[in-house]
Amino acid sequence: MEKVLNQAEIDAMVRKARGGETAGKKEAAPAVITVWDVRQAGQIGREQVQSISTLHEGFARNLTHAVGAYLRIEFAAALVSAEHLTYGEVLQRVPEVSYLASCKLSPVGATALLQLDLAVAFPLIDVLLGGKGSSSAPGRQLTEIEEQILETVMRIICRELQTAWQVLSLEFEFESRRQPEQVQRLMPSEEKTLSLAFDITVAESRGTLNLVFPAVVSNALLRKLAAGWVRTKMRARPDSEQRLRERLMACPFNLDLAIKIPGVPLPELMNLSRGSLLALRYPVEKPAGLRVSGCEMFVARVGKRGWLRSAQVLERCRPEPEGK
């Protein structure tokens, strides 16, 4: 009796003929499921961190020069970190005793937080009062008079921030010092913020300056920086080097052919008059120096071509050693 195969047996024979019997027995790998952490949402990417760091490293340098020139004392600021944190996480890192202030960001109507360690706040106040910045933190809060004195430096920080963030056309206006309970209500605890930490040095004292920006402005800054980074990459063209070379070829450069006179005695100079002959003690056969825009680049002889003066280039000058 002839055997009749069903559909399952036919499919098995086809798989075996194609060499896929083993593959057919393999089961699909189970999907890997991980728990989603809401706190990881909106984290700064590597390129964004680089852009933020570059921007605020420039801010730190400008702040160093601005405050140092104003106080006329050793002052240095350096970026330590740039992080995306919730406002609640930021508050957990704020020391119990420190200087807290707010800065109004117009026209968006947002507020930024400034936190300065008292380890550098008191030396700054000492300098502003005419001291040398050697005052140490006495372990207490600032008085109202000390707040008003320190406000001068806070306004300089806001001014330099406005310069650094000029891509957003924001105005940074220092408001006032804030008490810890007021800082708690400055932003919602779950709001994402951009937290920047700077290492501050005043004379022999060191501390930290923390700047906290709400998401409404930090996200806008990141978008602007990303757009600028893309435009910078697109601006580079394959023929840019050749085009630059062609433009340089059309640029004029000043040339002059001169000799270095070893020295002339003062009596000979005093006796000079019209028609006098001054011996320069410079051999006739020794060539002169051909300078390009004030930089001596070639050794050349004075010559003549038709009714024009000329210079016969003999060799290129050797570069002077560094430090000379």
- Judge whether 100 lies within some domain: yes
What is the predicted pLDDT for the residue at 236?
53
In a domain, residue 244? The reply is no
Which tens digit of pLDDT belongs to each residue from 215-267? 888 888 888 877 765 454 445 566 777 888 888 888 888 888 888 877 788 88
Establish if 167 belongs to a structural domain.
yes
Per-residue pLDDT band for 21 (boundaries 50, 70, 90) equals very low
**Nearest residue to 102 via CA among 206, 217, 211, 191:** 211
- Is residue 51 scored above 90 in pLDDT? no
Residue 316: strand, helix, or coil: strand
- CATH number, residue 139: 3.40.1550.10
Whether residues 110 and 173 share a domain: the answer is yes
pLDDT at 31: 67
**According to the model, what pLDDT value does residue 137 have?**
65
**Gap between the Cα atoms of 77 and 71, Å rounded:** 14
Helix (H, G, I), strand (E, B) or coil at 207: strand
Question: Whole domain around residue 311: which residue ranges?
Answer: 254-259+281-324
User: What b-and-e string marks burial along 27-53, b requiring 16 or more CB atoms within 10 Å of the CB?
Assistant: eeeeeeeeeeeeeeeeebeeebeebbe
67 occurs within a structural domain? yes
- 233 found inside a domain: no
If you average pLDDT over every residue of the chain, what do you get?
A: 81
- Do you find a cis peptide bond into 188, omega within 30 degrees of 0? no
Q: How confident is the model at residue 307, as a pLDDT?
A: 87
pLDDT level of residue 64 (50, 70, 90 thresholds): very high
Does the pTM exceed 0.75? Answer: no
Over range 141-154, report the average pLDDT. 90
Domain end, chosen from 228, 244, 269, is at 228
Q: For residue 89, what pLDDT is reported?
A: 92
pLDDT at 229: 52
How many Cα atoms within 13 Å fall on the side-chain side of residue 183?
25
Task: Based on the fold, state whether residues 199 and 68 are members of the same structural domain.
Answer: yes
Residues 145 and 287 in one domain: no
Residue 142 domain-assigned (yes or no): yes
Q: Are residues 196 and 295 in the same domain?
A: no
- Beta bridge partners, 116, equal 99, 209
Query: Of 207 and 285, which is predicted with more confidence?
Result: 207
